[in-house]
Amino acid sequence: MKIYADNAATTKLDAEAFEAMKPWLLDEYANASQSYSFSRKPKVALNQARELIAACINAESQEIFFTSGGTESDNWAIKSSALANLNERPNIITSAIEHKAVLNSCAAMKNLGCSVTILPVDNFGTVNPADLQEKIFLQTKIISVMLANNEVGTIQPIKTLADIAHASGKIFHTDAVQAVGHIPVDVKLLGADMLSASAHKFNGPKGIGFLYVRDGLKLLPYIDGGGQEFSRRAGTENIASIVGMAVALKKNIDALDKNREHVKNLEQLFMRELERNHIPHTRNGSEHSLPGLISLSFDGLDGEAIFHRLDLMGISISTGSACDSKKIQVSHVLKALHLSESRAKGTIRISLGKDNTSEDVHAIVAALKKCFRD
């Protein structure tokens, strides 16, 4: 038995995306930036992929910049915004439950003299817009709040937060890595100036992603070199992965409602089965969260032990804590949600995807039940 229930970590590469990638690796391998005729097809593919991806998030094609993934996109958005104003000792505002790609980018900028303001979240993982309003000041240059959290699934009120940022003339970035391809993402409705995404989170290949940068926003290049990506992100274009990403995203967007309903049904079945089997648990996160992402705490149990026990039964999930011999290290997200130590220690994350089935759900619950017989 092999059950993959860690789709928030990565997703299976879509077979059609893989097929679409192959010609650009084996036959049409020319450098898209060259001027000879061999480069024409890769150049066309690059432009078409950019248009396709832009359409999926209601952006313009020139607003899409290909990167190596979500981490690079987050680094670029935050560091370049701060570095452009370094002599003014800029302030960066972010939330306590961001991905490390954001938090560590902020920490790196702090080492260069920037100040960093970390917004708290409530017990459900939601940022209070009033907190942002209160913390913005003259030196604030960029605000970065994730669209959906990777550990508990909470979806943030991005439109409200972006409006607050804009009312003070600040740049607003959102890390939408966990959301793109899974819930509707419309950059115009969200109002974000920049948005990060990563292909492997929506059944695309690993090592490729994009940063949406609103037209007119000045953003310094993060990787210097050649003139690729409108002279803003250097490096020979990874056509195969870019094409694979576009195919995967388009496919997920076309089937968005169907996939969401399927995953939501599995999620509801899972929660019902937990109850039916009398497995005591607490669910973390907000009601307004990503479909299929289930953060569960088993008070008094060890999340890492459950993780390994399920692994031995062929089930891949994730945990919110890790044993460090003498003590348990709890994730920064669970800490920010003010979970008691006992509850945080017993936390696991199950993230169901479009390929999961009701049989998978029954098998996971049966496996969890075995952990409770001890």
Q: Tell me which residues touch other proteins (CB under 8 A).
A: 301-302, 304-305, 308-309, 312-313, 323-326, 328, 374
Q: Which is nearer to other proteins, 256 or 313 (CB)?
A: 313
Q: Which is nearer to other proteins, 25 or 323 (CB)?
A: 323
Look at the block and give the residue holding tokens 């409530």.
122
**HSE-CB of 205 using CA atoms within 13 angstroms:** 21
CB of 307 to other proteins, least distance (A): 10
Q: Which is nearer to other proteins, 226 or 300 (CB)?
A: 300
Kind and range of the H or E element at 64?
Answer: strand 64-67
Neighbours of 356 (CB within 10 A): 22
239: its two tokens: 């056509």
Q: Which is nearer to other proteins, 199 or 328 (CB)?
A: 328
DSSP 155: B
* Cβ 251 vs Cβ 14: under 8 Å: yes
Distance between alpha carbon 330 and the CA centroid of its chain, in Å? 20
Pairwise CA distance, residues 187 & 216, whole Å: 15
Contacts of 48 by beta carbon, 8 Å cutoff, 6+ apart: 246
**HSE-CB of 350 using CA atoms within 13 angstroms:** 27
Nearest to 278 by CA among 194, 186, 373: 373
CB of 367 to other proteins, least distance (A): 10
* Cβ 18 vs Cβ 26: under 8 Å: no
Phi, psi of 140 (to 5 degrees): -65, 125
Q: Which is nearer to other proteins, 276 or 326 (CB)?
A: 326
CB of 302 to other proteins, least distance (A): 4
CB of 128 to other proteins, least distance (A): 35
Q: Which is nearer to other proteins, 211 or 367 (CB)?
A: 367
Q: Which is nearer to other proteins, 234 or 323 (CB)?
A: 323
CB of 179 to other proteins, least distance (A): 31
Look at the block and give the residue holding tokens 């920010």.
336
* Cβ 266 vs Cβ 272: under 8 Å: no
Distance between alpha carbon 320 and the CA centroid of its chain, in Å? 16
Pairwise CA distance, residues 181 & 248, whole Å: 9
Active-site annotation, residues: 323
**Rg, C-alpha atoms of the chain:** 21
Nearest to 46 by CA among 254, 250, 246: 246
